[in-house]
A and B are shown apart, each in its own frame.
Chain A
Amino acid sequence: DTAVSQTPKYLVTQMGNDKSIKCEQNLGHDTMYWYKQDSKKFLKIMFSYNNKELIINETVPNRFSPKSPDKAHLNLHINSLELGDSAVYFCASSQGFRGGYTFGSGTRLTVV
């Protein structure tokens, strides 16, 4: 069983579209995250969700909105996609903020 699973693995879409990425973890962790990895491999935190508390990174455009129906799921919805949104998006989870993070396999988003 995959511990942290993301879908889709690849996403190619046109500018201006709205898309969602889904993430599920079966580790029983209470904290989940979205990270963005750009072409230079820099991993940047976007959001974290801990026991229904959402921590927002202020540098993330409000076109990005996370949704967590329960502590095992953290989805990412993106409105009005732009070329600069092209990147690999990783979901991750941990037990509390201080535990080791388990990452999903990533979603490669390409905006054309």
Chain B
Amino acid sequence: GQQVMQIPQYQHVQEGEDFTTYCNSSTTLSNIQWYKQRPGGHPVFLIQLVKSGEVKKQKRLTFQFGEAKKNSSLHITATQTTDVGTYFCAGFPSGNTPLVFGKGTRLSVIA
């Protein structure tokens, strides 16, 4: 079945540094979604990307969808302690099937 690979698994940064997590799929994705899960919390939907080459911004967060629709990235500028958590990308294998999640990138921010 389709796999959604995500790297790195862990990332530790100093507050104020930038952070990027990458997502790759073995097959073309119809769209991709990103979620954030705070420690002890539940995944929260951040954004969905649909078009090839699409770039979307949410304040300090920038999301990109690759031209071939097989990869995506999330970049956070000037991290803050509130950015701590696990960031998941997720894609749809095919047709009417549920989301398949990447394994997530756990972000730690050192103040």
Chain A residues packing against B (C-beta within 8 Å):
33, 35, 40-45, 48, 50, 55, 90, 92, 97-98, 100-106
Contacts and interface: CB of A to CB of B under 8 A. Distances in A.
Nearest to A31: B98
Contacts, number: 51
A33 B92 CA distance: 14
B97 interface: yes
Given A40-B103, A41-B106, A45-B100, A97 B43 contact: no
B73 interface: no
A105 B96 contact: no
Q: What are the 3 tightest A-B residue pairs by CB atom distance, in nearest-first order? A: A100-B45, A43-B101, A103-B42
A45 B98 contact: yes
Contact of B86 (A35, A41, A90, A98): A41
Interface in B16-35: 30-31, 33, 35
Given A103-B43, A105-B42, A97 B103 contact: no
A104 B44 CA distance: 9
Interface residues of B, number: 23
Contact of A101 (B37, B43, B97, B103): B43
Interface in B67-111: 86, 88, 92, 96-101, 103-104, 106
Nearest to A96: B96
Contacts of A43: 43, 88, 101, 104
A109 B96 CA distance: 29
B75 to A, nearest CB: 20
Nearest to B99: A101
Contacts of A45: 98-100
Given A90-B42, A101-B43, A103-B43, 20 more contacts: A40-B103, A41-B103, A41-B104, A42-B104, A43-B43, A43-B104, A44-B101, A45-B99, A45-B100, A48-B97, A92-B43, A97-B92, A98-B31, A98-B92, A100-B33, A101-B33, A101-B99, A103-B42, A103-B44, A105-B41
